[in-house]
Amino acid sequence: MMSSMIKLTAMLLAGQAVSAATIPSGAVSSSLTPRAAQVCYSGETAVLTCYTAPDNTPQGVTVADVSYVAAYLRSYGKQTKAGRMFTMNAADTPECAEWTLYTRNTVTALAKHISPPGVNSSVLFEDIANTIDGGASATDKQKQAALIGCLTDGGSLGVAYNTTNPAYSTAAYKAAGYVPDGILIKIVNSAGA
C-alpha cells in the first residue's frame, strides 16, 4: 500500500493528471496509467449490456469474484465519513480510456467516462458497488438489474447513483462542476484487461 501511495505521489509531483480520489490505494495494477480501450465504441451507453453471445463476447468471470469486487469497492468507499468519490475528468480520459477500479481473480472492474466532452463526472464508490451487485442487501430483482445479473458473461452499466445522497449536493461538489452520471462500469475477464 505504501508503495502505491509513493508511486501516486511521484506521479502527482511530476504533473500527471491523476487525483487521489480517482484511484483507490491497493486497487490498481503496477501501472497507474489508464487502460486504453481495445476498441472505441461510440455507441456505449449507460443501459445494462450483458456480454452474452452471439452479439457479444462472454467474459468467463465468476459471480463470486464479481461479488467480492463490489464488496471491496463498497468498503473502500465507506472508509471516510462522507464517502469516497471516484472522479473522471474529461481531460484525463481521452480516446475512450478506461480506468481499472479493482481486479480480483477472474474479474477486472473498469470505469469509462461516457459524458460529453468537457463534462467531469464524480460518483460515490458505494454507488459503483451498487451498480455492480445491486446493493449490500439486494433483492433478486435488484441483482438482475445490476452487473451481477449478467452472471459469468460480464457486462457494462452506467453508475446508478443515489440522487438523495447529500454527497451530490455539497457546496464543494457543486463548485467543482461535477455531475453524478457519465461513468460506465464494465465487468471483464482479468486475463484480457
pLDDT, tens digit (0-9, with 9 covering 90-100), for 5-25 = 333 323 322 222 233 333 333
Q: CA 10 to CA 8: how far, in whole Å?
A: 5
* Angle, helix 63-77 to helix 125-133, in steps of 10 degrees: 160
Q: CA 143 to CA 178: how far, in whole Å?
A: 28
Task: Give the Å distances, CA to CA, from 157 to 18, 84, 151.
Answer: 24, 20, 14
Res 130: pLDDT = 98
More confident residue, 179 or 115: 179
In terms of residues, how long is the chain?
193
pLDDT, tens digit (0-9, with 9 covering 90-100), for 44-91 = 889 999 999 999 999 999 999 999 999 999 999 999 999 999 999 988
- Work out the average pLDDT over 147-175: 96
Indicate the average pLDDT of the chain.
Answer: 82
pTM for the model stands at: 0.80
Assess whether pLDDT exceeds 60 at residue 157.
yes
Res 135: pLDDT = 97
Q: CA 15 to CA 190: how far, in whole Å?
A: 29
Closest among 119, 100, 123 to 29, alpha carbons compared: 100
Res 192: pLDDT = 73
Q: CA 85 to CA 102: how far, in whole Å?
A: 15
Computed on alpha carbons and rounded to an integer, the radius of gyration of the chain in Å comes to 16
pLDDT, tens digit (0-9, with 9 covering 90-100), for 121-146 = 999 999 999 999 999 999 999 999 99
In whole angstroms, what separates CA 148 from the centre of its chain?
14
